[in-house]
Amino acid sequence: MSMTPTEVQTTGITPHPMLPHPYRVQRVRRETSDTFTLELEPQTGSRELTFAPGQFNMLYAFGAGEVPISISGDPARPAVLVHTTREVGAVTRAMRKLKPSDSLGVRGPFGTGWPVTAARGADVVIVAGGIGLAPLRPALYQILAEREHYGKVALLYGTRTPADILFRRELQQWHSRFDLEVHVTVDRAMGNWRGNVGVVTSLVARAPFDPQSTLAMVCGPEIMMRFTVQELEQRGVALENIYLSMERNMKCAVGWCGHCQFGPTFICKDGPVFRYDRIQALLAIREV
Amino acid sequence: METLERILIEHHFFQGMQDEYLKLLAGCASNVRFDAGQFVLREGEEAHQFYLIRHGKVALEVFAPERGSITIQTLGEGEVLGWSWLVPPYRWRFDARAIELTRAIALDGKCLREKSEKDCCLGYELLKRFSQVMVEHLQATRFQLLNVYDAH
Amino acid sequence: MVLERESLGTLFEALVRQGYKILGPTLHEGAIVYDELTSTSDLPAGWTDEQDGGTYRVKRRNDGALFGYVVGPHSWKKFLFPPVLRLWQAERRGNGFQIEAEQHESTKMAFFGVRSCELHALAIQDKVFANGTYVDPLYKGRRDRVFVVAVNCGQAGGTCFCVSMNTGPRVSSGFDLALTEVLEDGHHYFVVEAGTEAGLQVLAELPHRPAEEGEKEAAEKVVARATAQMGRRMDTTGIKELLYSNYEHPRWDNVAGRCLTCANCTMVCPTCFCSTVEDVTDLKGEHAERWRKWDSCFTTDFSYIHGGSVRSTPKARYRQWMTHKLATWIDQFGSSGCVGCGRCITWCPVGIDITEEVRAIRGTDVSGRSGKESSHGNTREDSD
């Protein structure tokens, strides 16, 4: 059960890995009622952070605490560091109240990334549930930047209601491209919604990709990922071509605190992106 | 009739069915069309048909007086709408409304029910397929119930 | 080499001269713990300990042995990986803030009386904090300046099983000096071995002489006595596969019925390294600090995420601890996480015995994947 990292990039590590670097808030953008995006730039003393899609940073709000948040921006534009998160606790609440030119502490980037390079030559299906779209967005940016290297590319996105749809304008732009299929669905809607209603797994059956030559990247609540894998498997996608992003409690992100262990893996360094077949047995064990 | 039969033969839902049954089904089939906003079926009405959606989108809805109509699922091209015709009391449990111009093939479920009573093999072939539809809906509904996207 | 008992004090003096703070075993409130030593008279001369599941008592010996006991509730990790440690401080500056890292401690430490199992434990924690992708500079700064005076055990404790884990009782590496205490016919001396240049240099300052054959043999006998006395045994054959294939073994429910999730085992274990981080601020919100504290996978919040804990039941938490210690640790760090010191058995208030739990799972392992023939109901005699 030994793990090998997929697509790791490490830059910006200082002498003490637990020391945050100060970054300045450029902008706080409200995405939905409970989700917001931070756009950050490095302050003097900190440098531009380059990252691989799928990686995360530890973000520190002065006096409130530190939380792991996936990077949701464009890896080709490191001058602006982008994070999208839900407001779920004291730290994220404090972050939502930040104003432009306020400071935030950043440590990272950490973890393994999506197999964007490995997917070259194949079809790609990206399945996102809820906030799971945020860690997948950088992968899509990178794929679209090198579009000629990929076959069919499909984005399947499901969330709770139309009001919870993230990155709406961007989704509409992507939807209008000829070289990208975008299917959005919601779990439920009021009568004036003209889009799909149904669980995101229902989009898998009709998505345009060749199961024999497809790489799938899946991110969202764990149940949603497990159900999505079932559908992908039913369509004939090999389990070693499916990648998930896992989440666990994290305190340090550098493999010392022990909190993020998932079987023999540390989510902070062996993940968060995992090849499905390598964690399949672990996902089947309760409370592991 | 011929065209309908070909459509049924090519439709994945009826894959593997014997030719004579497909002919029979074609005999019970007709082309229908619903404009955007038009109801396909209403909750409580007798269920005597089912539909193969060829083109367009249909929403399964429930109307709550204080909330308005709530869409619980949408069905699109290639999907099958309606299984209440197979199961007593043969009444629709939801409204179904076309969200956009929708063309479908309507099949006479009542007629097929009666024929299945006499020919069990036909009944089995239909039940095999519809139980699959029901299982998928059940799984999807259970998934929806879990409210996985809710904040905790 | 041989160092007479009366001359042991010169070793202390030599270390003090070189600027070391000496830390070692001392008797305190009914237990032999590790603390600062000012002279050899701080050592628990003439004391021994009796240990068993959930039991620890010190007892008087009928001789004056200085190291006639095994290990107590403390381990050396408290000096290298302190239970509470500030990582940095920060001050608000306008709408930003400035962070000040914690300075490295300048005191050099000499660990006096380190047992073989503990040397292995130090090496295991080194892998976590100093040999990975990320190096903890506070750990490394202290660790690099530690002088180790190891001791070969002359007796084994009631809960010891270092022989099963291949971690003792004889020290093999990782020490600057190693002592074997011999009390024979009124003659009390130490057979000394240097393990490093630094050790040789210190030894050179002490009144020592080459060991005679008889003395070397006596030292061998001391270690052999400890080897034969092990209080516990653990069969580690295929243990990783055994635990990987028994996540649903009924024994976990059995131990969950006894385990209080008190976290004692993780506190006393010399290799447990889990910690938590606390970000605190003063009332005005101008000054913030980040502290690191020992944590335990037995706490309910350890695995908290999205409104609940992944391991909410005691069963899941005990299983996590034991499976990590004996199995997943191997995949993570290349060795077992257990050194057979027995502390977790001694300090468990209900006497849960990790060797017995392994035996129980192995005895009724029906998965057939651990590489051994499953023997239902038989307890196995473990090989050393």
Mean pLDDT of chain C: 93
C window 228-247, beta carbon within 8 A of A: 244, 247
Shortest CA gap B152–chain C (Å): 5
Q: Would you list which residues of chain B are within 8 Å, Cβ to Cβ, of chain A?
A: 57, 59-61, 67-74, 76, 78, 99-100, 136, 139-140, 143-144, 146-152
* C133/A255 Cβ within 8 A: yes
SS3 C149: strand
Domain of C31 in residue numbering reads as 2-228
Count of CB atoms situated within 10 Å of the CB of C148: 24
Specify the residue for token string 């779209």: A133
* B140/A190 Cβ within 8 A: no
- pLDDT at residue C365, as a whole number: 75
- pLDDT at residue B51, as a whole number: 96
Q: Does C255 lie in the same domain as C211? A: no
Contact present, B24 and B119 (Cβ < 8 Å): no
- pLDDT at residue A190, as a whole number: 87
Return the structure tokens found at B134: 């029901």
d(CA C117, CA C122): 9
Strand partners of residue A26: none
Q: Does C289 lie in the same domain as C173? A: no
Q: What is the pLDDT of residues C80-89, one digit of tens each?
A: 999 999 999 9
Q: Which of C228, C247, C266 is the last residue of a domain?
A: C228
Specify the residue for token string 């002088």: C147
Return the structure tokens found at A216: 């799938």
- pLDDT at residue B124, as a whole number: 95
* Angle subtended by helix axes A222-234 and A276-283, to nearest 10: 120
* B149/A130 Cβ within 8 A: yes
pLDDT averaged per 10 residues in sequence order, chain A, 288 residues: 32 67 95 97 85 98 96 96 96 96 95 98 98 98 98 97 96 97 95 91 92 97 93 95 97 97 98 97 92
Q: Does C143 lie in the same domain as C77? A: yes
Kindly state whether residue C81 falls inside one of the protein's structural domains: yes
Contact present, A193 and A185 (Cβ < 8 Å): no
Q: Read off the pLDDT band of C368 (50, 70, 90).
A: low
- pLDDT at residue A277, as a whole number: 97
Overall average pLDDT of the C148-155 stretch: 97
∠ at Cα C301 (C300, C303), nearest 5°? 100
Q: Where are the domains of chain A?
A: 21-110, 123-283
- The fraction of chain C above a pLDDT of 70, given in percent, is 95
* A195/B149 Cβ within 8 A: no
Number of structural domains in chain C? 2
Q: Does C245 lie in the same domain as C191? A: no
Q: Which of C228, C255, C277 is the last residue of a domain?
A: C228
Query: With the CA atoms of A229, A230, A232 and A238 taken in that order, what torsion angle do they form, in degrees rounded to the nearest 10?
Result: 80
Q: What's the pTM value of the predicted model, to 2 decimals?
A: 0.89
Give yes or no for B152 touching C (CB within 8 A). yes
- pLDDT at residue C366, as a whole number: 64
Q: Which chains form contacts with chain C, at 3 or more CB pairs under 8 Å? A: A, B
* A64/C133 Cβ within 8 A: no
Overall average pLDDT of the B104-112 stretch: 94
What number is the ipTM of this complex?
0.92
B-chain CB neighbours of C307 within 8 Å are 151-152
Task: Determine if residue C282 is left, alpha or beta; phi over 0 gives left, psi from -120 to 50 gives alpha, anything else beta.
Answer: beta
E strands present in C261-369: 275-281, 287-294, 304-305, 308-309
- pLDDT at residue A15, as a whole number: 62
- Say which CATH superfamily domain B31-145 falls into: Jelly Rolls (2.60.120.10)
Q: Does C112 lie in the same domain as C180? A: yes
Q: Read off the pLDDT band of C102 (50, 70, 90).
A: confident
Q: Does C286 lie in the same domain as C184? A: no
Q: Do domains A21-110 and A123-283 have the same CATH topology?
A: no
Supply the Cα-derived Rg of chain C in whole angstroms: 23
- pLDDT at residue B128, as a whole number: 94
**pLDDT at residue C309 above 50?**
yes
- pLDDT at residue B2, as a whole number: 56
- pLDDT at residue A8, as a whole number: 28
Overall average pLDDT of the C302-318 stretch: 93
Return the structure tokens found at B55: 């083109």
Q: Does C103 lie in the same domain as C40? A: yes
Kindly state whether residue C384 falls inside one of the protein's structural domains: no
DSSP β-ladder status, C84-93 and C55-60: unpaired
Give yes or no for B149 touching C (CB within 8 A). no
Overall average pLDDT of the C119-133 stretch: 96
Domain covering A21-110: architecture: Beta Barrel (2.40)
Count of CB atoms situated within 10 Å of the CB of A280: 16
Shortest CA gap A14–chain B (Å): 35
Enter the CATH code of domain A123-283. 3.40.50.80
d(CA B81, CA B88): 17
Q: Read off the pLDDT band of B67 (50, 70, 90).
A: confident
Q: Which of C193, C228, C263 is the last residue of a domain?
A: C228
Specify the residue for token string 């292995």: C120
